[in-house]
Amino acid sequence: MTHDLGGFSIPGSTVTTMLVIFAIYSLVILGLGVYVKIQSKRNANDSLASFLTGGGGLGAFAIAMIAATNSMAGGTMVTAPGLTYAIGFSGALIYYGGFLTAAYGIGSVGRKTAILRARTNAVSYLQLLRLRFQSKGVVGALAITGALSLAFVSCGQITSGAKVFAAVTGSNSYYLGLILVMVITVIYTLTGGVKSLAKVAVIQGVVMLSATFSIIGILIFRNVQTYGSVENAVRYLGTMAPETLQASTAFSPLNAMGTAIFMGIGLCAMPSALSVSMTYDNAHNLKRGVIISCLIFTIVQGVMCFTGPLVRLVNPDLVTRDYTTIYVASNLLPSWLGGIIFCGCFAAIQSSIAGYCISAATHLAKDFIVDCCNPKMTEKKQNRITLICVIGIAAVATIMSIWPTELTQYMINFAVGSICASWYWPALLGLYWKKATRSGMIASAVGGFSSYIVFYFLSSILPTTKAWWAANLGNINAFIPAWLLALVLLVVFSKVKEKSEKVPLGIFQVFFCDDYDESYAVIEQ
């Protein structure tokens, strides 16, 4: 039975084939999770550290696949093509500016964590900050904000996955999609932890790359067939929809710059990104992993951004722009290949959810409940609490996604912006500025978190202030002032408490020497 999606329809036979491909894909990734669990028990490596960080033994390629698939999420396969379908090629600039900033940030922070993780056997980034500042308050403030924010962010990904499933199978299947997305993701996450994520990420990366090249290949072929050449197609696009080849009026220069910085800083400061820095076996593999992940991201994100205008040439009548990828999968390609693209959308969404759940569980269970409240808890109980936290966070995110409303989107925006504003400076300067203090770290975390919410209300929700913000501040992203305020708070409070809260640097002293270099990675403890 054919169902209409506004501007196109999907035949029932195509739906059946796509669902069969999706079922096969789901069984494969679930099987990988079970395999990792069996291997871990067989090798007596079923510890909490192995679950949260893979035992700190992941190589460059595994790191790259986790980082790339976590970063792309549903925005790459669904949102980005829809954005460029509506406003044109300029939408791609925001994605690229942001990711390059993030790549540098992850690489910079990770260079030091490679040394510290090996020396301290820490399983989370916040454990390093606790050792640095000897403060449960610093860890507690960041752990709570991080866990709550990641639950809200996961909600956005779950909603995207359920909407994609409903679009393909019919409007009444949203809740079935919701359940499938979470159940499959939680099962393979619980069975193998980060090692499972690494193996599944390889499959998901291959699926996304296959989907990407299939989409761009068929679009180029169809447009060349219709217009004679790519050049002629682009020329016709400029005549049909001139806004697609021009600088978008949807973004002022300040807004575009702020959004790019926000995305870059956001990717760098997200707890899930920082968690990746705790999984690798040495600093060299981290650098290689960051380079490879950037390459994969550039290919997939770039191609998907450019598909939007090309789809508009083929079908300018799409009612819902986020169905751009689904249209290509269901109407321009063989149904079996459309099934792979369908799986590619889910692969991007599931990988990010899995990373968010593990990261949030790490901060809530290990950093807050254990390290801050009950440090003497046995590892068996720690394992149990961590698994409960993964399930709990997934459940909260799922419940929030049952009735998606405008309020849900506001909550997601709050979560992403506030966590980036509260985490960035403590995460970066905690290891790079020796005069940072406990008070400065807490003030930065709390101030960044709360000020973003205030600025977001002023810039995006309250009608009067929203108009003023757009007219006088170029509609700059609310993250920018909150981010800068968090920096000021960290510096001011650290200066005030510099003497009274001075903590011996210990093993961290090595990073503040004038002649610091990578050779310190092999200094004896």
Indicate if the pLDDT at residue 217 is higher than 70: yes
Which tokens sit at 256? 């575009």
Widest pairwise Cα distance in the chain: 74
Is the CB of residue 208 less than 8 Å from the CB of residue 71? no
User: DSSP of 424-454, one letter per residue?
Assistant: HHHHHHHHH-TT--HHHHHHHHHHHHHHHHH
Indicate if the pLDDT at residue 516 is higher than 60: no
How high is the pLDDT of residue 193?
Answer: 65
363 belongs to a structural domain: yes
User: DSSP of 362-414, one letter per residue?
Assistant: IIIIIIIIIIII-TT--HHHHHHHHHHHHHHHHHHHHHHHSS--HHHHHHHHH
How high is the pLDDT of residue 359?
Answer: 80
213 belongs to a structural domain: yes
Least confident of 130-144, 158-172, 263-277, 377-391: 263-277
2 belongs to a structural domain: no
Q: Cβ contacts of residue 491 below 8 Å, gap of 6+?
A: 440
How high is the pLDDT of residue 519?
Answer: 44
How high is the pLDDT of residue 478?
Answer: 83
> Average pLDDT in the 116-131 region?
75
Between 422 and 279, name the one with better pLDDT. 422
Indicate if the pLDDT at residue 350 is higher than 50: yes
Closest by CA position to 430, among listed 416, 444, 448: 444
CA 319 to chain centroid, in Å, comes to 28
Write the pLDDT tens digit of every residue in 10-44: 888 888 888 898 888 888 888 877 777 777 666 65
pLDDT band at 489 (very low <50, low <70, confident <90, very high): very high
Closest by CA position to 437, among listed 510, 511, 491: 491
12 belongs to a structural domain: no
Write the pLDDT tens digit of every residue in 42-82: 665 555 555 555 555 566 666 667 766 666 666 677 777 88
Domain span at residue 493 reads 17-522
3 belongs to a structural domain: no
Q: What are the residue ranges of helices labelled H in 1-47?
A: 12-42
d(CA 164, CA 74): 10
d(CA 181, CA 185): 6
d(CA 306, CA 89): 6
192 belongs to a structural domain: yes
Three-state DSSP at 252 gives coil
Three-state DSSP at 4 gives strand
4 belongs to a structural domain: no
- Backbone φ/ψ region at 100: left (φ over 0), alpha (ψ -120 to 50), beta: alpha
5 belongs to a structural domain: no
How high is the pLDDT of residue 424?
Answer: 81
Is the CB of residue 277 less than 8 Å from the CB of residue 290? no
Beta bridge partner(s), residue 3: 10
Most confident of 200-209, 258-267, 276-285, 500-509: 200-209
Average pLDDT, the chain: 75
d(CA 199, CA 217): 28
Helix and strand tally (H, E) in the chain? 19, 2
> Average pLDDT in the 271-286 region?
67
d(CA 365, CA 436): 26
Count the domains in the chain: 1
Say which CATH number the domain at 68 has. 1.20.1730.10
How high is the pLDDT of residue 331?
Answer: 86
Indicate if the pLDDT at residue 515 is higher than 50: no
Write the pLDDT tens digit of every residue in 168-184: 887 678 888 888 888 88
